[in-house]
Amino acid sequence: MRVRDIMTRSVVTTTPRTPVKDAAIVLAGHGVTLLPVVEEDDQLVGVLTEADVVRGRIPPDPRRGAWHGSQAGAAPPATVGDVMSSPPLTTDSQTDAAELATMMIDRGLRSVPVVDQDRLVGIITRRDLVGVIARDDALIAADVRRRLECYGGPDRWTVHADHGAVTITDQHDNPTDHHVALVLAQAVPGVVHATVVHSTSQPA
């Protein structure tokens, strides 16, 4: 399964010239944790995170004696371009989704922009990854079945999915075909494990 199979293609973005306040409204309103920052033609130049927005914008409470009145520092930067994180960490649409998921977990990342030649084409989030795992078993089985129909015909394979674990029953006992069937099945979003068995090996 590749990143392109599960990424979100419709991405909420901002520009370097956008006021930070306006970008914060977009972040809060869309319930996202990161905004890709793009120039013309969707060229990705940075990302705006929640931390970028918050940094220096929550003043001390004067009632607790931490406020210094006229000695307060300068106003925080005004535009997204002044506070964005750049260069951004990105991935491309051909990346193995399993590798990206591991990297996101290890680095504590919630979102990663997807680019092709520096042009933003989507975004992958932890919610996207969770959505794959939560996919309905009937849809998973149907997708696997469709892929297998192109390899051996529509009547050869029986597919069953249970909590993302897929069992493929083949009328023929051909190890090479079974390997191909596994490769095709494991590329389907939502499949967490796949096995192929010969129909005669099934219990009565």
Alpha helices (H) in 150-194, listed in sequence order? 175-186
pLDDT tens digits, one per residue of 50-93: 999 999 888 777 776 655 555 556 788 899 999 999 999 999 99
E strand or H helix that includes residue 87: none
Domains of the chain from N-terminus onward: 3-133 (3.10.580.10), 137-197 (3.30.1340)
Note whether 184 and 147 are within 8 A (CB). yes
Q: What is the pLDDT of residue 174?
A: 92
Q: What is the pLDDT of residue 152?
A: 81
Q: What is the DSSP letter of 2?
A: B
What is the pTM (predicted TM-score) of this model?
A: 0.80
C-alpha to C-alpha distance for 99 and 2, rounded to whole angstroms: 10
Q: 154 Cβ partners below 8 Å, 6+ apart?
A: none
Core vs surface per residue 69-104: b (16+ CB within 10 A) or e: eeeeeeeeeebbbebbeeebebbebebebeebbeeb
Q: What is the pLDDT of residue 63?
A: 72
pLDDT band at 5 (very low <50, low <70, confident <90, very high): very high
Instruction: Reply yes or no on whether the pLDDT at 105 is more than 70.
Output: yes
Q: What is the pLDDT of residue 68?
A: 59
Note whether 155 and 170 are within 8 A (CB). no
Q: What is the DSSP letter of 118?
A: T
pLDDT tens digits, one per residue of 17-32: 999 999 999 999 998 9
Q: What is the pLDDT of residue 67?
A: 54
Write out the two tokens for 166: 């897929």
Mean pLDDT confidence for 165-192 = 94
Backbone angles phi, psi at 8, to 5 degrees: -85, 120
pLDDT tens digits, one per residue of 112-164: 999 998 899 999 999 999 999 999 999 999 999 999 998 888 889 999 999 99
- 3-state secondary structure (DSSP) of residue 39: coil
- 3-state secondary structure (DSSP) of residue 172: coil
Q: What is the pLDDT of residue 203?
A: 47
Write out the two tokens for 164: 């993302």
pLDDT tens digits, one per residue of 181-192: 999 999 999 999
C-alpha to C-alpha distance for 107 and 44, rounded to whole angstroms: 21
- The mean predicted confidence, pLDDT, of the chain is 91
